[in-house]
Amino acid sequence: AEAVTLVGRNGAGKTTTIDSIMGLLPVRSGRIVFGSRDITGLAAHRRALAGIGYAPEDAGIFPDLTVAENFLISQTLARRAGRSRADAGSVDERVLALFPEIRDFTQRRGLHLSGGQKKMVAIGRAMTLAPSILLLDEPFEGLAPVVVTRFIEAVKQIKAMGISLLIAESNLMTAARVADRLYAIDRGEIIFAGAPGAAFENAEVMKTLRG
């Protein structure tokens, strides 16, 4: 398992790329291949059931449901697909091992969660379907530095579980802290691919990302 980051300024095409892989946007050209299978025409929910996890930038938590109820929705889908690792009505132990803080607010409605808590729930909910790859769109956005470090440690734990990650990120320094491999994107085109450290030595990448 590895963590790959897609780095670019706002409007560079990061979210469009993530959403296209997830099937939330139609692909105008090219193909999307997952596990040697062409999934270009596959519906988004079928991609999720096939093993692609997704946590959007805004977390996508149902505000009027409790955290437990948010998990119950994904657990129901997981059981139907034979991908559930948790007992009915309980939170997956792997999720709680990753974010033990969730135990303290399972009965809190999504509306009353902090930004960091929402991201924890979004990532945990995606993991309920036992994905082999996890797509994270701006997971560190708007978080205090100490919380960013907490989430970077979580990414390392997710990799240790054998789950690969594709992370969209606007901050090169943060991306380099978490990436095994880094891609820089600008106006929908990849302008760099390689080791994170090499990106800092590339004048074009640095100029583009700094604007």
CA distance 54 to 21: 10
Low pLDDT (below 70) residues in the chain: 81-91, 211
- Phi, psi at 179, each rounded to 5°: -90, 140
Residue type, 26: P
Rounded-to-integer distance, Cα 137 and Cα 205, Å: 20
Cα separation, 86 vs 79, in Å, equals: 9
pTM of the predicted model as reported, rounded to 2 decimal places: 0.91
* Secondary structure class of 72 (helix, strand, coil): helix
Alpha-carbon span 36 to 111, nearest angstrom: 40
